[in-house]
Amino acid sequence: MGAFFSNLPQYLVNGIGSSCVYILMAMGFSLVYSSTGIINFAQGEFAAISALVAYTLSMDLGLPLLLAVAGALALTGFVGLLLERAVIRPLQGKGTLTAIIATIGASIFLKAGARIIWPEEAYKVPEFTQGQLNLPKASFNAQLLWMLGLTAFTVAAMYLLMNGTKLGKGLRACAINPEAARLVGIDVSLMSMAAFAIAALLGGLAGLVSAPFANYGMGLYLGIKGFTAAVIGGLGDVYGAVLGGITVGLLEEVVAGFLSVVLGVSSGYKDAVAVILLISVLLFRPQGLVGKGLVEKV
Amino acid sequence: MLILRNISAFYGNIEALRAVDLHVQEGCITTVLGSNGAGKTTMLRAISGLIPTRYGEILYYGRNIAGEPPHRIVRMGISHVPEGRQVFYQLSVRENLELGAYVRSWRKKAEIEKDLDFVYRLFPILGERERQLAGTLSGGEQQMLAIGRALMSRPRLLLLDEPSMGLAPMVIRDIFACLKRLHQEGLTILLVEQDVQIALSISDYAYVLRTGKVVLEGPAEELLKGERIKKIYLGEEF
């Protein structure tokens, strides 16, 4: 037990890194859900595609890292657009559930496609900055600073987008009442396209900062954990995603430490944390920890 | 200003509008009366582009707008106050009104601000509750907000779907007084109502719709005096 507590700072530092990734993923889930009512099960694939494309651009084609990252994000955003136009749009009027199932199909399709292009089990995605930094009780890769900085920047940008721009107000209006949104002149179809494209960028960023290694299947775990974070946060605004991401990220690493140091079992079981959290929240507080019931007076 | 020519529209598999012809004269209040399920709401939804029409033309200043999406219709100057108000519950009164101005350039802030003032003068209670969430307003206040929101796009033609529904008589009188005022300031209104008396009292011309067909039309005063409308409502005819 003593070893567990002395290692706790390290677990928390590790947890901050995962939290950033889950926050980004959760914002993607929440944005699409709140503006279209669809849970996009292909959200994890955005992360995988972007990380793998970044690998190819920088390692195979030798592009500078910045260009590779920009290229990977641009392509992932385009995949998001395409997903909305080719899969979601044709199903308009067929019900939300149909669209959700279609995203599961899209996820399988993208995963299989990625496997053809990137068949290996692991590709080394370049880190933005090499090296390790040491604190008194913990150490971390310099990459963590990038993760923190980029996540903080993205959270702030999303907040401004949703609250300070016309696009954001349109997206929020669609989330609250799609029909009323149409009646005030918002192009709901355009909003849905924008939501998917932005969610793809968020997922893409998560994939880029998430791991030193990427493969075609990484989207599954990132998807589950990001989705859990989003559900904890109530699948709504930016705050919820941040809260959910931190909850899942920190808890997961602390549990991993507990499992390996105290119980002596594989820390790989930590992946169950997100699933258990997801089931508990759905059972006991389906509106999320911060979700409020609908204020409505008839 | 607006002419419906031979319009048919379906609600699921049911033909909710059957070859309807209707004229809205610029500067007038035109009312469509009819009981539940007569096709009144379907007609407004067809005009504002929320549902497709199967046959016929919707001519707005001579141009056929049938099949245009709602966001274009709003930009053309037709604003729809929907059945059941449909305000954005989780947003404040002010945010609701600002969304009403969504189609206008946000660079014209001063103009939009002026129109906000106009709405607050029309419905002072909305000004008092500016910061309150729309979901916490009473039914009458929500109706005022829905009308105010529709006005914020600066429409030339206002479509109103049963503004009296579920409201106390006094509130209904207030709202209709405001509609009359808007009309006097030059707004053209197409009103759909079940409350015959109050609707006809402010209208210039009226149609009666029954199971998707126009069964009676004429100047509002004549309909108000005539016996036929009562008979239609009581089901003694047809």
Inter-helix orientation angle A218-232/A2-36, to 10° = 80
| CB–CB contact B102 A177 (8 Å) | no
Give contacts of A 189-218 with B, CB under 8 A. Answer: 189
CA–CA min distance B93, chain A (Å): 13
Which of A34, A163, A167, A183 is the best residue to mutate to test the B interface, defined by the most B CB atoms within 10 Å of its own CB?
A183
DSSP A143-198: HHHHHHHHHHHHHHHHHHHHHHSHHHHHHHHHHH-HHHHHHTT--HHHHHHHHHHH
Nearest CA in chain A to B155: A184
Q: Report the complex ipTM.
A: 0.90
User: Higher pLDDT residue, A237 or B23?
Assistant: B23
Phi, psi dihedral angles at A264 (to 5 degrees): 70, 20
Average pLDDT on A185-200 reads 95
Q: What is the pLDDT of residue A293?
A: 46
User: Higher pLDDT residue, A183 or B13?
Assistant: A183
CA–CA min distance A92, chain B (Å): 13
For the domain made up of A2-131+138-284, give the CATH fold.
ABC transporter involved in vitamin B12 uptake, BtuC (1.10.3470)
Which residues of chain B does A174 touch, with a Cβ-Cβ cutoff of 8 Å? none
Average pLDDT on B191-202 reads 90
pLDDT tens digits, B200-219: 999 999 999 888 889 888 89
Half-sphere exposure of B199 (CA within 13 A, CB side): 25
Nearest to A186 among B50, B102, B136 (CB): B102
- Whether B82 has its CB under 8 Å from any CB of chain A: the answer is yes
Q: Where do the DSSP E strands lie in B43-114?
A: 55-60, 63-64, 78-81
Distance, first Cα to last Cα, chain A: 56
For the domain made up of B2-85+156-234, give the CATH fold.
Rossmann fold (3.40.50)
**C-alpha distance from residue B116 to each of A107, A180, B145, B151 (Å):** 46, 19, 11, 9
Phi, psi dihedral angles at A54 (to 5 degrees): -60, -40
Distance, first Cα to last Cα, chain B: 31
pLDDT tens digits, A96-142: 899 999 999 999 999 999 999 999 888 888 777 777 888 877 788 88
Question: Residue ranges per domain, chain A?
Answer: 2-131+138-284
pLDDT tens digits, A238-283: 899 999 999 999 999 998 888 888 888 887 788 888 899 999 988 8
Contact call for residues B34 and B17 (beta carbons, < 8 A): no
Question: Residue ranges per domain, chain B?
Answer: 2-85+156-234
Residue B235 has pLDDT above 60, yes or no: no
Phi, psi dihedral angles at A191 (to 5 degrees): -65, -40
* C-alpha span between A27 and B59 (Å, rounded): 44
CA–CA min distance A101, chain B (Å): 24
CA–CA min distance B180, chain A (Å): 23
Return the closest-CA partner of residue B147 out of B195, B206, B191, B202: B191
CA–CA min distance B50, chain A (Å): 8
Average pLDDT on B64-90 reads 94
- Whether A256 has its CB under 8 Å from any CB of chain B: the answer is no
| CB–CB contact B98 A173 (8 Å) | no
Nearest to B89 among A176, A185, A186 (CB): A176
* C-alpha span between B102 and B109 (Å, rounded): 12
Give contacts of A 102-141 with B, CB under 8 A. Answer: none
Pairing between β-strand B55-60 and β-strand B63-64 as defined by DSSP bridges = antiparallel
Nearest CA in chain B to A169: B99
How distant is the alpha carbon of residue A54 from its chain centre? 17
pLDDT cut 70: percent of chain A above it = 97
